[in-house]
Structure 1
Amino acid sequence: MEPIAGTALYPLHRCKTIYLVRHAQGIHNVAGEKDFNAYMSQDLFDAQLTPLGWSQVDSLREHVKKSGLAKKIELVITSPLLRTMQTAVGVFGDENYTDGVSAPPLMVENAGHSGRPAVSSLNCPPFLAVETCREHLGVHPCDKRRSITEYRPLFPAIDFSLIENDEDVLWEPDVREANESVALRGYGQGKRRR
């Protein structure tokens, strides 16, 4: 539904539209639906997308392209978790990467054992990883990220410069973040550790 001229609280030409996209299905989603205790499994550390998840990414990518939205996106912000970066580059990245192109790929071939081709960073908006753009922190290994040193070679064109710590200092093994803390972090008022 398009807003009617003159009804906005702030002039529309001075506004930005923000689209929020949740990551596609990850291996932790499947395991957790079968048995909630599976979320405690170290095998789900920094969970990657499932084949169905990649199918969801492909469908959303087609929708974004056909709707013309792809041409309007100015910046993609992603959390620094494997499944969220896979989703972001799969939906908003350019076509398959070709060796010899001067721009680095957004994602290298088979990143996170995806079986997917590399994704080009040409003709797409910049990608920025933001540490605080994460869901609940703590306890579940699927919600702990890898080091930024491990991510950089997998996602060469994602900008990790705003992430202050190589290791995940926000995730704690024995404290699950409360909903109130998640909300405060979303407002930029959460506690910064270390």
Structure 2
Amino acid sequence: MEEAKIIHLVRHAEAFHNVDGDVSLHRLFFRGEWRHLSPRLLIRVLRPFWRHFQAWLLSFFIGKASLKHARARDQNFFDPKLTSNGWEQIGRLRKIVGESGIDRRVQLVVVSPLTRTLQTAVGVFGSGEIGSPPFVAQELCRERMSVRSSDKRRAISNYAPMFTTVDFSQIEDDDDKMWNPDTPETMKELQERITLFLQWLWDRKETEIAVVSHSSFLRNMLKRANLLLPNCQLTTVRLTRSGCDFRFSDA
């Protein structure tokens, strides 16, 4: 019988950057958000272009220091927390995983070490409760990193007291060494990170695992760029391996 693992994928619940943050053209046209186009959504689409234009003006007339300053102005979305709607989404998904028995079958919950994913993982799978699975934070399943501060994490020493039942020992650096305010992660770098993550998952002894991560990371891991992954919804897949290649199929 072919060796396989069952993986339950969960995108984090709605966070504040999902409500007021930028919207890319990819999201607008290829993920269908144009159907709900409104003045507010249009502003969120055009805002990055306006900021880049402002940054170019500052760089041209004032200098590079101002360009760096302009790129770092989005601190309002630094490692955002969940919205009240996000917590409601968690309540609904927690009921689903409880009624389906997934919460009793999952042997491990792997979670990206950002506030929104940690809150989602603990809220859905009940960290610390009797019978709940162990939780491990893993940087390899972080979001594809842009220069936006929403992709930057806090120091692990800040998370540990808030999420006491999550094992952070897989993360070597207390401060965030992966995020760069000037250089986004390339697609090649992301794919290399995905391969390392899948190898890490495959080497684990657990055969049924939940992964709480982010939309861009999950879409690229599944190699389905236009897949719509709503906040806090669960997708179950079967992970197999053929030689050096990892494959996903419907579970």
TM-score by length of 1: 0.73
Where relative contact order (Cα < 8 A, 6+ residues apart) is larger, the structure is: 2
Of 15, 21, 24 in structure 1, the residue corresponding to residue 13 of structure 2 is 24
Is 1:178 equivalent to 2:178 in the alignment? no
Q: Distance in 2 between matches of 1:179 and 1:47?
A: 24
Which residue type is aligned with residue 60 of structure 1? Answer: L
C-alpha deviations, 1:82-103, integer Å up to 9, x for none?
000000010001xxxxxxxxxx
State the Cα RMSD in Å.
1.9
1:122 deviation in Å?
Answer: 2.8
- Deviation string 1:36-72 (CA, Å, 9 cap, x unpaired) is 5479610110011111111111111000001111110
Partner of residue 122 from structure 1, selected from 122, 130, 143 = 130
User: 2: distance between equivalents of 1:77 and 1:121?
Assistant: 17
Matched, 1:58 2:91: yes
Looking at secondary structure, tell me which structure has more helix per residue: 2
* Cα deviation code 1:139-159 (max 9, x no counterpart): 110110000000010001100
Q: Is there any run of 5+ residues in structure 2 with no aligned partner, and where?
A: 24-40, 49-71, 198-251
Give unpaired runs (5+ residues) of structure 1: 1-8, 94-105, 107-119, 190-194
Residue of 176, 188, 191 corresponding to 2:196? 188
Task: Pick from 73, 80, 102 the counterpart of residue 106 of structure 2.
Answer: 73
What is residue 139 of structure 1 aligned with on the other side? 147
Paired-residue identity, %: 44
Verify the 8 A CA contact 1:60 1:91 in the aligned structure 2. Answer: yes
| Structure with more of its chain in strand, by fraction | 2
Separation (CA, whole Å) in 1 of partners of 2:159 and 2:101 = 30
Instruction: Pick the structure with greater CA Rg.
Output: 2
Q: How does 1:8-19 map to 2 (within 5 A)?
A: 10=2, 14-19=3-8
Q: Could you tell me which amino acid in structure 1 is paired with residue 161 of structure 2?
A: P
Could you tell me which residue of structure 2 aligns to residue 112 of structure 1?
A: none
* Cα drift, residue 177 of structure 1: 1.1
